[in-house]
């Protein structure tokens, strides 16, 4: 009963996060003076503005619009063919594009998910070994490089690093690296066919992975130092265990908990933080879509994107909670 109660509280907490995110974004966009006039233009005819208001329900009171939008998210309600039952949640229609918000997000999400996963994978592949190596000799030259690089990586804004990396690796050294400045996952070949172009992934993934690399390497270093000073590691050293065995068998697994915590949070943050990186490198994903939607005052798309990122936070935290039970069985009883 206690385990079921804890799980129920986590589910309710996740639902509260989603509801709060949706409500906050709706209230912010309700403060927009007249979305219909922004869409039609300041010099548009009143008839055109009235038609836009009626088409998207903008002439309804805010509470009515809020309830309609919230009811559309429910998986239980009135179906299109009549009657009540289970249905697909709806995020409404785009103000600008002739498509639903769900379809637009579904088209853009795979490219951003690939970018975020690649950036996080690079950060973990390099950050975990760097933290372990730095912890082996605290205060050594490599340890100072890792600490100094972590401070620099955490303090550098993503949009600045995107411009800097793009200029260096694509413009100044482009003839040597062969990396293009802009481009998306799908490209056209010489014959006009649509092909996958992974070379366009290199620079945005490198840029997006810098900050999690800095955080993960620093966390891994601190956690490894704590484990190295623990009694069971000192006992293993007393029995003649090599440093390689100690780092692999004792330190790595026990030090991964804070790294998993940070990685789970960074995965969702990378989805949200890809806006500027995708815009600089022309990577047409969720961030690029939200940037265009903000420019065009396409409020349903922005609200849907924020809700999607919030859902990702909740889902990733749930997966991280499951990973704790494997890394530390004592967490299952906490």
Does the pLDDT of residue 268 top 80, yes or no?
no
What's the pLDDT band for 323 if we cut at 50, 70, 90?
low
CA 36 to chain centre: 31
Mean predicted confidence (pLDDT) in 301-310: 85
Residues 159 and 302 in one domain: yes
Residues 57 and 184 in one domain: no
227 found inside a domain: yes
72 found inside a domain: yes
CA 72 to chain centre: 25
Does the pLDDT of residue 60 top 70, yes or no?
yes
Angle between helices 256-281 and 286-295 (to 10 degrees): 50
5 found inside a domain: no
Residues 300 and 212 in one domain: yes
Q: What is the pLDDT of residue 81?
A: 61
Q: Please tell me the distance from the alpha carbon of residue 22 to that of residue 276, in angstroms, as a whole number.
A: 23
Residues 65 and 105 in one domain: no
Does the pLDDT of residue 211 top 60, yes or no?
yes
Residues 69 and 130 in one domain: no
Residue 134: give its domain's CATH number: 1.10.3720.10
Q: What is the pLDDT of residue 257?
A: 73
Residues 132 and 71 in one domain: no
What is the pTM for the complete model shown? 0.77
Residues 52 and 193 in one domain: no
% of the chain with per-residue pLDDT over 70 = 82
Task: Give the up-direction half-sphere exposure of residue 30: CA atoms within 13 A in the CB hemisphere.
Answer: 14
Q: What is the pLDDT of residue 204?
A: 92
Last-in-domain residue among 86, 115, 137: 86
Q: What is the pLDDT of residue 126?
A: 92
Strands 186-188 and 194-196: antiparallel
7 found inside a domain: no
Residues 109 and 48 in one domain: no
Residues 268 and 168 in one domain: yes
Residues 159 and 51 in one domain: no
Does the pLDDT of residue 286 top 80, yes or no?
yes
- Give the range of the structural domain holding residue 275, as residue numbers without chain letter: 101-333
6 found inside a domain: no
Mean predicted confidence (pLDDT) in 213-234: 82
Count: domains in the chain: 2
């Amino acid at each position: 009963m206690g385990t079921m109660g804890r799980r129920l509280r986590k589910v309710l907490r996740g639902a509260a996060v989603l509801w709060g995110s949706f409500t906050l974004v709706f209230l912010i966009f309700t403060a927009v003076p007249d979305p219909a006039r922004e869409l039609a233009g300041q010099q548009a005819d009143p008839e055109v503005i009235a038609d836009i208001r009626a088409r998207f329900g903008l002439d309804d009171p805010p509470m009515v619009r809020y309830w309609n939008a919230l009811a559309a998210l429910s998986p239980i309600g009135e179906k299109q063919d009549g009657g009540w039952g289970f249905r697909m949640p709806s995020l409404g229609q785009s103000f600008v594009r002739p498509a639903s918000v769900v379809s637009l997000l579904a088209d853009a999400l795979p490219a951003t998910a690939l970018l975020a996963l690649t950036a996080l994978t690079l950060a973990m592949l390099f950050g975990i070994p760097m933290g372990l190596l730095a912890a082996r000799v605290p205060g050594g030259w490599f340890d100072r490089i890792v600490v100094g690089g972590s401070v620099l990586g955490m303090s550098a804004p993503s949009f600045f690093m995107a411009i800097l990396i793009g200029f260096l690796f694509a413009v100044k050294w482009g003839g040597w690296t062969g990396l293009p400045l802009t481009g998306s996952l799908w490209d056209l070949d010489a014959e006009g066919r649509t092909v996958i172009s992974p070379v366009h992934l290199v620079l945005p993934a490198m840029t997006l992975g810098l900050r999690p690399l800095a955080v993960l390497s620093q966390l891994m270093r601190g956690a490894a130092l704590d484990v190295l000073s623990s009694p069971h590691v000192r006992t293993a050293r007393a029995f003649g265990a090599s440093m390689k065995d100690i780092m692999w068998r004792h330190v790595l697994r026990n030090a991964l908990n804070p790294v998993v915590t940070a990685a789970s949070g960074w995965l969702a943050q990378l989805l949200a933080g890809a806006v500027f990186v995708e815009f600089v490198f022309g990577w047409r994903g969720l961030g690029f879509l939200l940037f265009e939607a903000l420019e065009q005052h396409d409020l349903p798309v922005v609200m849907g994107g924020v809700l999607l990122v919030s859902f990702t936070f909740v889902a990733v935290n749930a997966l991280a909670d499951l990973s704790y039970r494997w890394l530390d069985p004592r967490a299952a009883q906490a």
